[in-house]
Amino acid sequence: MKDSAKITLADDTRQLCLGHLQLPDNILSSLHGQGLVTIGNAADIISLLGSSGLKYGFELRFRLLNLSRCNSSGRTDWNSFLKLLSGRLCQLCITTPQLDSISGDSLLIPVNKQTFGNAGAMLAKAGYSNLGELRDGLRQGIAAVPGLGKRKLEELLQRMLDISKAIDEGDFEKFSPTTLSDCFQPLQTKDIRGLLIGVLHLGIKAQWFRKAGITTVGDMLDAWPIRLGSIGNIGNAIIERTHKRLTALVGAANSHGRIDWEKYTAEIGLPLVPSDSGTVLAGRFLSSLPEALEQIASNLPDEHFAEILKSRLAKPPAERKTLEEIAQSGSKKITRERVRQKEAKLLEQLANALIWDIYGSLGIHFKPVFSNWWKLAAARFQGVEEIEFDEFITGLGDVWGADTPSIIEQLPIILAIVTGDPNMPSGFRSAIRIDPVLYGRLPEETLALRLDKLRIGRGARQLAEKGVSTVGDFIEMCRSGDSMILDSAGGKSALVQLTALASSLTREGAVNWRQYLVDQELVSIPPQATSSPKQFSMQLTNVIETVLKTSCTYSRAPEIHRLRTSRTNAKRKTLQALADGWGVPGPSVSRDETFLKKFIFNLVIERDFSRSPFWFQKDWLRYWSDAARVFDSGSTNYSEFCQRLSNDWLTDASDLQGAFPTLWAVLSCGRGRLKDTNKTESIRVRLLEGQPARIRLRGFRRVH
């Protein structure tokens, strides 16, 4: 027999699944087994067969009658129906017209503990990230969710009813966290919106924001907090931390729409480094870099990080502590491999923080006036994977407005950060072995200075054979990273002398030879200035003997000069007489004489001072230059040379008799015979054919 009470349902309600009647699991399962799927289907069967025609028919008809009583003007008042159930849910099936009316950004309200209580946390784990997904799921019916018990279901039901009621009353905003963005209004300036989200110090979770396209504070404000809950791996804890960081930014925003970083970092409990604010100028930035690194190291939370930064990354290769030394330092001993891993991690974090504001767990915050220099460099080399030394230094100089010496001085830490490698390439190690001053804008006179003018020794000849004959050549070789030449005996000696030369340069880059003389402790010769040709003639023999006794490797050279080279043919001893007196073969004396004349020629005419402990007076050398000019002008014999030189010096020939023999002997023997006949390429030409040292700019490349 049919039941007399009529069941009247709204059309949209008839289409809903049977779970919306909130029948217990066993009853719902039985009804499904009898072919009942929707509410309309169940109502039709009950009307046709009555309650007795179905198993659990009485329970089904009771729920349908309750639902029918909540029908008004063709709509089901689901709020009333659910209240009739005393707020108890048996199934994850909820719908109301108000929920159906939600649209736009409100559908993106995150499903999490903050918005839907403990039930929200369980539903988020089940894959329901926002209100739109949850609403659609509840309308269709959601299968059992692990961890969602009776109490959590009641909590969820109450939340959905409250939302429906608020929509009816036009007060839905109080349930939407979007209203929280109002308190962030001070952050809506262009400067603050443009800050990268790394300044919020959100830790490793920040990567998920970036992957979702939220890279700036402005992006975060636009997404807050509706979109955040829909991002995978973003939970209530990180949203809460983000809220605290944004609130701290609000508190630190000044009236000009900028952030007071000291106030902000104090609020979030991080040190702000470096403390010096004088880094707004490039020169100040570079000169203060060692002090800044000390401050950074002292504020790093990891003691091994601090020691790595101070004793390795900030030091030139030759001064660095080994990995083993750092491993055994500090209160906690670690392995050498662990130090290497920490070093790589520290470099990555420093580069990310300075260039991209990605701080990770670094535990400090950089002042923008400090990190901005690194950002400028990153922008300058954007897209560049590899670069040569000169191009790199020039590029940094352009963007920082700094000179080359200042950059070279801090090159170890700069290279470590931009390459991500603590081990400086060998070519770059060679480049920083010379004094940075020599990379400045030196005048051509200094660059063209021959290396044999410096006290390099035999190394000057060795370098010349390799195409390195001037100061400019040597600097270019260092830039090229040719460590093989630098590590040679000549290269090492030249490094010492160029360091001495660098300390003798004037502010304009010219050589202060008087300072060089003092620094090298050279003996001035002759002791007094030479003021006249007659004085030069009187000094000559003694000066030459002094030079030969001190510098010449042939012990008989001073005596040969005194008895032969300094005398005319009529007064000099024969080679055989000297050989007999010394008990040696005649040819050996001839060889020694030829050598000493070439030796003197090389000193006073070629001006090769590389092996000389003397400082030759400029006026004294000028007389040698005069004599060489007269000799080269076409003097065909000794008498003509003496007469023409006397005329040139406006001095009676009788006053120059002490100088003529030596001048003639040296000039006639040495002229044109000492120059190296092996043609050597200029270092500048050779570098064009070689492979200059290159570095990979990993620190300047985004890795996310």
Average pLDDT, the chain: 85
Provide the strand spans (E) within 116-221: none
Average pLDDT over residues 451-460: 87
Q: Are 524 and 615 in contact (CB under 8 A)?
A: yes
Q: Which two tokens stand for residue 251?
A: 């508190």
Torsion of CA 478, 484, 488, 490, to 10 degrees: -40
For 73-135, the DSSP string reads TTEE-HHHHHHHTTT--SSB----HHHHH--GGGGG-B-SHHHHHHHHHHHHHTT--BHHHHH
Model confidence at 395: pLDDT above 60: yes
Q: Are 111 and 131 in contact (CB under 8 A)?
A: yes
- 386-388 and 365-366: which strand pairing? unpaired
Kindly report the CA angle at 263 between 262 and 267, in degrees rounded to 5?
115
Domain ranges across the chain = 11-91, 180-269, 271-379, 425-521+678-704, 523-670
Instruction: Provide, rounded to the nearest whole percent, the portion of the chain with pLDDT above 90.
Output: 35
CA 19 to chain centre: 61
pLDDT of residue 260: 93
Angle in degrees, 0-180, between the axes of helices 638-649 and 618-632, rounded to the nearest 10? 130
For 247-298, the DSSP string reads HHHHHHB-TTS-B-HHHHHHHHT--EE-----TTSHHHHHHTHHHHHHHHHH
Instruction: Provide, rounded to the nearest whole percent, the portion of the chain with pLDDT above 70.
Output: 90
pLDDT tens digits along 549-574: 888 778 899 999 999 999 988 888 89
- 614-616 and 523-525: which strand pairing? parallel
pLDDT tens digits along 338-388: 999 999 999 999 989 998 899 888 899 999 989 999 988 888 888 787 888
Average pLDDT over residues 390-402: 86
pLDDT of residue 174: 59
Query: 636 in helix, strand or coil?
Result: coil
Q: CA–CA distance from 191 to each of 194, 257, 259, 281, 378 (Å)?
A: 5, 7, 9, 21, 20
The number of helix segments (H) and strand segments (E) in the chain equals: 38, 8
Model confidence at 604: pLDDT above 70: yes
pLDDT of residue 250: 92
Q: Are 377 and 418 in contact (CB under 8 A)?
A: yes
Cis before 613 (ω within 30): no
